[in-house]
Amino acid sequence: MKVSAAAVGALAGLAGLALWFWRGGPKLPPGTDAIIERVAGSDLSHVVAGETGHVDSGGVRIWYESIPAAGPEKGVVLLSTSMGGDSLFWPPGFIRDLGRAGYRVIRYDQRGTGASDWMPEWSRRHPYSLLDMADDAIAVLDALQVEKAHLIGLSLGGFVAQEVAIGHPGRVASLTLMSTAADPTDASLPAPRMGPMLRAALAGIPILRYRLLGGEKNLVKEIVAKTISGNGYEGLDVEELAELVV
């Protein structure tokens, strides 16, 4: 049977795509597997070392951690994270830097994530709103008797932080918003640029193999690869990332 040059080219292209998918993406640092195995068998209680507890917010239990400043306290920072993440998402180095600068750091799991109450009855007919999530943040501040805090909100957490500032301006010392917007449905805002979106999507495709392979070890590798893809190798601490994931 004769095979056309076009068919051979197509097969070669598919083989190349498959190889790129399974072998592409950022190269993991040497010893990554050994580090993950060591961490998986370790005591990880030090990952959460601050004062922890739950607070009631309209019948929903919200988990928090309060991490003291390294020296004299200049103020309090409240971290509100992105959709699909919990409070351990924040890089430990970021929290350490805030502590060294004199700030007590409070992080909490938004409702439906982490150690806070999950919302099994949630649906489009039984939703909860950004206002409810802003009340969660205020409940945490009230429980810790914090009159005013510097709010740092990432993505969805940025929406929540803005609602806190609108509804409770006297509780906000400053507002730092990252990768977020005031209203993503506002038609007057510029549309996302396709070039950067496409490049980011293509860069992330090979990393998906870790998710498809499944398991704890591959989840750690996925997070390490994403970190390298976004921030490079400088300051990368595979062990610290592995501890957070595990």
Residue 224 tokens, joined: 């390490």
pLDDT in tens, 144-162: 999 999 999 999 999 999 9
Average pLDDT score over residue span 198-213: 85
Residue 40 tokens, joined: 């998986």
pLDDT in tens, 103-120: 999 999 999 999 999 999
Express as a percent the part of the chain with pLDDT over 70.
91
Separation CA 244–CA 223 (nearest Å): 10
220 with 36: CB under 8 angstroms?
yes
Look at residue 18 in the predicted model and tell me its pLDDT.
60
Look at residue 190 in the predicted model and tell me its pLDDT.
81
Express as a percent the part of the chain with pLDDT over 90.
71
Look at residue 188 in the predicted model and tell me its pLDDT.
85
**Where does the pLDDT of residue 189 fall: very low under 50, low under 70, confident under 90, or very high at 90 and above?**
confident
pLDDT in tens, 39-58: 999 999 999 999 999 999 99
CATH 3.40.50.1820 intervals, the chain:
45-184
**Where does the pLDDT of residue 12 fall: very low under 50, low under 70, confident under 90, or very high at 90 and above?**
low
Least confident of 1-5, 21-25, 67-71: 1-5
Neighbouring residues of 41: CB distance < 8 A, sequence distance ≥ 6: none
User: Regarding beta strands 75-80 and 51-57, do their DSSP bridges make them parallel or antiparallel, or are they unpaired?
Assistant: unpaired
Nearest to 222 by CA among 236, 240, 237, 204: 204
Superfamily of chain region 45-184: Alpha/Beta hydrolase fold, catalytic domain (3.40.50.1820)
Average pLDDT score over residue span 71-89: 94
Separation CA 183–CA 156 (nearest Å): 11
Average pLDDT score over residue span 134-152: 98
Bigger pLDDT: 155 vs 190: 155
Q: What is the pTM of this model?
A: 0.86
116 with 78: CB under 8 angstroms?
no
Mean pLDDT of the chain: 90
Average pLDDT score over residue span 150-176: 97
Look at residue 13 in the predicted model and tell me its pLDDT.
64
